[in-house]
Amino acid sequence: MGSTATMKTTPAGVPAFSFVRGPVACLLIHGFGDTATLMEPMGSHLSAQGITTKGITLPGHGTTLEDFAKVSNQKLLAMVEAEYTELKDSFEAVVLVGFSMGGLLALHLATMRDVEGIVTICAPAFPFGGRIGEKAIKFVAKLGAPLGTRFPKMGFTSLSDKTLSHYLVGYKSYPSRSVLRLVELMESTRTVVSRVNAPILIVQSQRDDVIWKNSGKYIFDSVKSEEKRLLLLENSRHKAPIDRDRLLLFEEISKFCLSRTKKPGSTSGNQ
């Protein structure tokens, strides 16, 4: 893939980007309530390493809370699969890189398609507080969904580099219906994660105050991948793609993605 063209588009006002570089492509999947904008610094770094990157904004995101409340998990996963298929038609290997909820969607797709690699970043096996926290959130969300109530934005974002704050363009509150679907996505992911066997890099922030502190280990212990690694970020909170350890994160993802290329004599991108 010899092209070095870059492109940034916002179809219908929704952020999206792509950097066309080498034969390995990364599909960058943002988290709950975010947009592709959060993943732009990562996309820029990966492209500088010769990796093609595409950042998408999921349905219901980057528009209105009314749209957000209506979108289903099935629609989210369908878009990820469609974007993966499009990349797979053009590139030697495609790696799914999912942040938070995006990591859950990547794990689901890995049970449906023979992906070359997965990176999950702060993907929640459970929300903050573990099973008890999940039960509490689900109870409140079920009560609030028919009433149209909203949850405040979760977690504390502390950026060492304040110039990165413009990447935080997601929703500032969440409809109860959306929160309920997020809990349901966590529940369904736990039922299928043991079917994942693709090479995987699992990233967990040690200071994350949005998801369960052992989420990364849960995913690591559950997947059946022969090639798997758990990377702990010592200084970051939940928004790891723009937090203190971001350069370490980007470099580790770069190495993982570049290792997906076919070796001489191999027959699979997983070799």
Does residue 263 lie in a domain region?
no
We report the CATH number of the domain holding residue 56 as 3.40.50.1820
| Confidence category of residue 244, pLDDT binned at 50, 70, 90 | very high
**Average per-residue pLDDT in the chain?**
90
State mean pLDDT over 46-74: 95
Per the structure, how many domains does the chain have? Answer: 1
State mean pLDDT over 254-260: 95
* Structural domain harbouring 181: 6-258
Does residue 31 lie in a domain region?
yes
State mean pLDDT over 30-58: 95
pLDDT in tens, 193-233: 999 999 999 999 999 999 999 999 999 999 999 999 999 99
pLDDT in tens, 86-135: 999 999 899 999 999 999 999 999 999 999 999 999 999 999 999 999 99
Does residue 74 lie in a domain region?
yes
Does residue 267 lie in a domain region?
no
Q: Is the pLDDT at 263 greater than 80, yes or no?
A: no
26 burial level (CB within 10 Å; 0-12, 13-18, 19+): buried
Q: Which residues have C-beta within 8 Å of that of residue 89, sequence separation ≥ 6?
A: none
| Confidence category of residue 12, pLDDT binned at 50, 70, 90 | low
Does residue 132 lie in a domain region?
yes
Residue linked to tokens 């504390």: 156
Q: Is the pLDDT at 5 greater than 50, yes or no?
A: no
3-class secondary structure per residue, 72-117: CHHHHHHHHHHHHHHHHCCCCEEEEEEECHHHHHHHHHHCCCCCCE
Give the model's pLDDT for residue 13: 63
